[in-house]
């Protein structure tokens, strides 16, 4: 672009400026003082001054005849070889425009005129640009004697300005036709400012360029919240790494619309250290939509970029810098009338895109064609010539191979403009679309896959375009449609539905299409149409297809021939009428029920005869019929029955009995037999056909028999329980007598031994003290005594005899404790309600079971953890409570012995505490393997046991339950978790009601 400027020497320019300044001062002095030409100067001096001044000056009289003209005037206007003094200015320039004589006359009347720029046409056809001033001059009589004209040729400066304007216009045209918002952002003192942004930002973000320049955060606030961090990181990475900035993300416009945008730039740093981003923001919403539309059927990828930019008011240097940083290549391509191609301008983006310099492309316009795939060159040229003929926008895609053998896909978009010289210039840009073409390739593969399905399906498929409110045209149909209609797809494309169906049926079909568009969703309907002169019934479904703006532009339809089904339905209707007559004479209720809506679809007349409701009343109840007339206790049973019906097999009949309220308020029993009548596509039952019979009288008899059987069952259960209790009580009484007798018999000799141990201990102490005195005073006994001392190990005997007596005393204490525990456990003297210390009963039971708690060869010891609360004496049946403790502790020990894999210590935890100061809670928990949930409900049943034969009777927990619940008016329940253990909870009141005498 530097070739468009004209260089002027600085010294020459300053000299001219100084001389013009002096001349203007002289003219101003003449004007103010109205001096005549001779005053102040002699004629000779004036002539020399005028002749050699660098400005063009001419002096005229009142008739516009030349009185004087300096050398510069003659040179500028080509009058060097002519004698002009005394001749009329209009004679010398006969073709002078009309406005000049008018200006001359005004100046001859005393006015002053000037012009900074004016064109002057030379005789050779060239145009000169001049700057001129005209002043009147005065005679001694103070009358106007003529005028003085000053001119300055400014053609070179004007040419430089025109070249500059052309350069600016070229860049403006490129920016105007660029499909994006060009920008320059600058970071000054860590604050980002917008130096420039083109008006395309309104299309992209919904804010004006002025708004964004005034406040950069108005744009930042539009960045999608989910993308903000990625956007910020991309900018930081580009600055820190000095790499080109590229980002794709979403914007939320002020109206709520979400658009995709792409930003590209190369960050630079100026002499002040400020970071500058020059680049372009592109609207890539269409591209993102195309990428997301890979799954759509027969949708085409259309990506059109419309650019709207207004005047570009920035300097050429800024526009040039922006152009160099725009991704891709901006260019000005020229095609001359003789079909010569050249590039007037190419941005620096060609280096990255084509690996060529701008100078190389400008020197040889055909150089770029050397890197284009040979198969693509003919189409590229055809599109160039076509755009030149029609002046339509040029758009093309092709393949290139760079000098480094990198293969790329590129796309060019340009707008043609006819020049005055007949050349056609395209202002456009070239950018890489390799990734987009890869996406198109995948889309094409998907389309071919869907096309195979489209062509192979046995249903008729057709596609129409909406040409207007009432106009539709076919764009395709599958092979099945061709076979059925006998019309070739090529003959159908572009035709109206009236072409296929005729005027009357065609209008009916069009009305269906209009309904689909009006509803904006898929519709399905049945219609009777004539195909090949044969009327047939069709089941048709229409699917509307919408564009990115939500407008329906296409309809895809599928249809199936249902003529045979319609015939079957007609025959079915005839048979249904016959069946209806038979059903109405049946003594049972015959009905059809919709399982999903719980709504009665059909019922014969017997329903009114049996229940007393009229058909209108039944119909008015609708979906509330079953909930309204069904017995509340039977609703859940009926719902379970319907669920079984939905999952039943074909031909399977399910039965249910339930109660229905008649119109008079009475309840009647119905016995229904149901089978699936209609199913969904997934096999689930949708409707059932049933027959209901009135069994009210039978149910009354059954209920009476059930009540009698229940009474007998309860009596038998009570009898068994009483028998069990009697047997157990007798056994426990015998056991208690035996335990008490044994305890009494053991207690007497043990007390005798225990009572004599204390004096025996004292005697031994005395004997040992006497022996010690003998040893002190007779240290040398006879040899026989010494031998005896050694033989009996006297020293050991003295020590061990004391230990032996202590051991015997401990043993007798243990025997007395066991005897006391046996007596406490048997409680023969406490068969009635008495106040007892419940902890003593628990400890006595554990004392009896002490042997089972100790470590055995096949299992470790069981530790007992007592967590006793502060409880008062409890009124209860002590002997029976000890039975309960014995049963629960025994079961806990059995459960711990069954654990094979030992991973934790075996424990039984006993906790006692008061509840509301009126009840006692006793919790006995083990950390065994737990009880399965299905067994928990049977724990307290008589004769139920999980132990091997001979190891349990199944009566322990049953009797314990009766003792706690029936005898003590308390509660006994069990909690268990598999793998963690079991807990039995005993709750009894602290006082018992006196037993009536």
Angle, helices 878-897/696-777, rounded to nearest 10 degrees: 90
Q: How confident is the model at residue 6 (pLDDT cuts 50, 70, 90)?
A: very low
For residue 955, the tally of other CB atoms under 10 A from its CB is 19
Separation of alpha carbons 812 and 816, rounded Å:
6
The mean-pLDDT minimum among 293-307, 596-610, 837-851, 963-977 falls in 293-307
Residue 309 has pLDDT above 60, yes or no: no
Number of H helices, E strands in the chain: 32, 33
Separation of alpha carbons 330 and 193, rounded Å:
25
Dump pLDDT digits (tens) for 227-267. 999 998 998 898 888 889 999 999 999 999 999 999 999 88
> pTM here?
0.29
- Which secondary structure element, helix H or strand E, spans residue 578, and what is its range? helix 563-584
- Write phi, then psi, for 407 (nearest 5 degrees): -95, 135
CB 493 within 8 A of CB 474: yes
Residue 577 has pLDDT above 90, yes or no: no
Separation of alpha carbons 74 and 83, rounded Å:
10
The mean-pLDDT minimum among 423-432, 643-652, 742-751 falls in 742-751
- Which secondary structure element, helix H or strand E, spans residue 461, and what is its range? strand 460-466
- The predicted structure's pLDDT at residue 970: 92
Identify the residue with better confidence: 809 or 421. 421
User: What is the share, in percent, of the chain residues with pLDDT greater than 90?
Assistant: 12
Separation of alpha carbons 169 and 332, rounded Å:
12
For residue 824, the tally of other CB atoms under 10 A from its CB is 22
Separation of alpha carbons 295 and 128, rounded Å:
67
Rg of the chain (C-alpha set)? 59
The mean-pLDDT minimum among 144-153, 359-368, 546-555, 944-953 falls in 944-953
- Strands laid side by side in the 460-466 sheet: 472-477, 460-466, 552-561, 534-546, 523-531
Most confident range (mean pLDDT) of 291-305, 573-587, 653-667 is 653-667
Separation of alpha carbons 347 and 197, rounded Å:
19
Residue 594 has pLDDT above 70, yes or no: yes
Residue 4 has pLDDT above 50, yes or no: no
Separation of alpha carbons 765 and 263, rounded Å:
111
- The whole-chain average pLDDT of the chain stands at 80
Q: How confident is the model at residue 22 (pLDDT cuts 50, 70, 90)?
A: low
Please tell me the total number of residues recorded for the chain in this structure: 997
Identify the residue with better confidence: 732 or 791. 791
The mean-pLDDT minimum among 349-358, 532-541, 613-622, 677-686 falls in 613-622
Using a 10 angstrom Cβ sphere, with 0-12 exposed, 13-18 middle and 19 or more buried, the burial of residue 832 is exposed
- Which secondary structure element, helix H or strand E, spans residue 491, and what is its range? helix 489-492
Place of tokens 């009580």: 729
Q: How confident is the model at residue 305 (pLDDT cuts 50, 70, 90)?
A: very low
Secondary structure E strands in 77-233? 113-121, 127-138, 144-153, 181-188, 191-197
Separation of alpha carbons 863 and 878, rounded Å:
25
Dump pLDDT digits (tens) for 466-496. 877 678 888 888 888 888 888 888 888 888 8
Structure tokens at 890: 């025994």
- The predicted structure's pLDDT at residue 431: 87
Residue 862 has pLDDT above 80, yes or no: yes
Q: What value does the mean pLDDT take over residues 940-964?
A: 71
- Write phi, then psi, for 211 (nearest 5 degrees): -65, -40
The mean-pLDDT minimum among 247-261, 568-582, 695-709 falls in 568-582
- The predicted structure's pLDDT at residue 394: 92
- The predicted structure's pLDDT at residue 757: 72
- The predicted structure's pLDDT at residue 12: 46
Residue 923 has pLDDT above 50, yes or no: yes
């Amino acid at each position: 672009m530097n070739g468009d400027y004209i260089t002027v020497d600085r010294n020459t320019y300053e000299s001219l400026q100084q001389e013009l300044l002096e001349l203007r001062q002289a003219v101003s002095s003449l004007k103010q003082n109205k001096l005549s030409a001779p005053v102040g100067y002699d004629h000779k001096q004036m002539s020399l001054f005028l002749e050699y001044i660098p400005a063009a000056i001419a002096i005229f009289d009142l008739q516009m005849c030349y009185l004087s003209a300096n050398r510069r005037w003659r040179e500028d206007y080509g009058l060097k070889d002519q004698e002009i003094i005394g001749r009329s200015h209009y004679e010398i320039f006969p073709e002078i425009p009309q406005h000049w004589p008018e200006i001359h006359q005004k100046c001859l009347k005393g006015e002053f005129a000037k012009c900074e720029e004016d064109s002057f046409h030379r005789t050779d056809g060239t145009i000169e640009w001049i700057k001129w001033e005209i002043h009147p001059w005065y005679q001694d009589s103070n009358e106007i004697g003529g005028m003085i004209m000053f001119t300055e040729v400014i053609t070179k400066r004007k040419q430089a300005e025109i070249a500059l304007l052309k350069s600016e216009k070229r860049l403006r045209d490129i920016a105007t036709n660029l499909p994006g918002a060009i920008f320059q952002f600058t970071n000054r003192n860590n604050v980002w400012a917008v130096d420039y942004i083109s008006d395309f930002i309104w299309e992209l973000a919904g804010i004006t360029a002025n708004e964004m320049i005034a406040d950069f955060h108005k744009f930042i606030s539009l960045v999608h919240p989910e993308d903000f961090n990625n956007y910020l990181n991309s900018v930081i990475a580009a600055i820190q790494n000095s790499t080109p900035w590229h980002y794709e993300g979403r914007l939320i416009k002020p109206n709520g619309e979400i658009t995709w945008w792409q930003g590209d730039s190369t960050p630079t740093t100026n002499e002040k250290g400020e970071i500058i981003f020059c680049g372009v923001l592109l609207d890539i919403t269409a591209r993102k939509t195309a990428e997301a539309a890979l799954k759509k059927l027969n949708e085409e990828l259309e990506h059109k970029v419309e650019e709207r930019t207004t005047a570009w008011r920035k300097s050429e240097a800024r526009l040039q810098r922006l152009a160099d940083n725009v991704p891709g290549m901006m260019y000005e391509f020229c095609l001359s009338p003789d079909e010569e191609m050249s590039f007037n301008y190419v941005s620096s983006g060609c280096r990255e895109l084509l690996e060529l310099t701008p100078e190389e492309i400008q020197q040889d316009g055909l150089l770029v064609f050397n890197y284009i795939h040979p198969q693509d060159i003919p189409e590229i040229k055809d599109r160039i010539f076509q755009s030149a003929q029609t002046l339509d926008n040029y758009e093309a895609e092709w393949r290139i191979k760079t000098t480094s053998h990198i293969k790329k896909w590129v796309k060019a978009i340009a707008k043609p403009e006819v020049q005055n010289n007949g050349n056609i210039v395209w202002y456009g840009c070239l950018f890489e679309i390799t990734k987009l073409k890869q996406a198109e390739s995948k889309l094409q593969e998907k389309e071919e896959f869907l096309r195979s399905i489209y062509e192979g399906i046995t249903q008729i498929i057709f596609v129409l375009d909406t040409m207007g409110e009432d106009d539709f045209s076919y764009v395709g149909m599958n092979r099945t449609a061709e076979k059925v209609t006998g019309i070739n797809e090529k003959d159908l494309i572009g035709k109206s539905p009236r072409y296929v169906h005729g005027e009357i049926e065609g209008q009916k079909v069009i009305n269906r299409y209009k309904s689909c568009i009006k509803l904006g969703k898929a519709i399905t309907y049945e219609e009777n149409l004539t195909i090949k002169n044969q009327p047939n019934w069709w089941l048709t479904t229409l699917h509307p297809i919408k564009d990115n703006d939500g407008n329906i532009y296409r309809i895809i339809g599928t249809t199936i021939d249902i003529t045979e089904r319609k015939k079957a339905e007609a025959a079915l209707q005839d048979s249904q009428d016959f069946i209806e007559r038979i059903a109405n004479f049946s003594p049972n209720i015959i009905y059809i029920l919709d399982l999903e809506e719980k709504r009665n679809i059909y019922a014969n007349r017997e329903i009114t005869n049996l229940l007393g409701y009229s058909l209108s009343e039944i119909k008015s109840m609708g979906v509330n019929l079953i909930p309204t007339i069904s017995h509340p206790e039977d609703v859940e049973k009926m719902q379970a029955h319907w669920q079984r019906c939905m999952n039943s097999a074909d031909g399977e009949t399910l039965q249910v009995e339930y109660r229905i309220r008649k119109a008079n308020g009475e309840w009647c029993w119905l016995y229904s037999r149901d089978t699936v009548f209609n199913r969904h596509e997934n096999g689930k039952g949708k409707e059932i056909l049933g027959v209901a019979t009135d069994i009210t009288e039978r149910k009354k008899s059954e209920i009476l028999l059930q009540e009698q059987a229940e009474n007998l069952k309860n009596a038998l259960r009570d009898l068994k329980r009483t028998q069990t209790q009697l047997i157990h009580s007798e056994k426990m009484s015998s056991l208690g007598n035996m335990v008490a007798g044994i305890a009494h018999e053991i207690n007497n000799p043990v007390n005798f031994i225990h009572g004599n141990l204390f004096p025996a201990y004292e005697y031994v102490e005395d004997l040992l003290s006497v022996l010690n005195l003998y040893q002190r005073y007779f240290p040398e006994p006879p040899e026989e005594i010494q031998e005896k001392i050694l033989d009996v190990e006297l020293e050991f005997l003295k020590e061990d005899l004391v230990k032996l007596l202590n051991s015997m005393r401990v043993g007798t204490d243990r025997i007395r404790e066991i005897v006391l525990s046996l007596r406490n456990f048997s409680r023969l003297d406490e068969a009635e309600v008495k106040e007892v210390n419940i902890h003593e009963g628990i400890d006595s039971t554990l004392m009896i079971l002490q042997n089972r708690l100790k470590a055995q060869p096949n299992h470790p010891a069981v530790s007992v953890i007592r967590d006793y609360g502060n409880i008062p004496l409890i009124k209860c049946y002590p002997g029976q409570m000890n039975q309960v403790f014995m049963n629960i502790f025994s079961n806990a020990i059995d459960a711990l012995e069954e654990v094979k894999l030992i991973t934790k210590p075996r424990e039984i935890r006993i906790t006692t505490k008061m509840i509301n100061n009126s009840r006692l809670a006793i919790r006995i928990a083990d950390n065994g393997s737990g009880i399965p949930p299905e067994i928990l409900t049977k724990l307290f049943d008589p004769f139920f046991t999980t132990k091997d034969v001979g190891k349990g009777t199944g009566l322990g927990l049953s009797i314990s339950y009766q003792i706690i619940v029936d005898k003590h008016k308390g509660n006994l329940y069990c909690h268990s978790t598999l793998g963690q253990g079991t807990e039995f909870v005993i709750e009894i009141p602290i006082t018992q009601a006196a037993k009536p005498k």
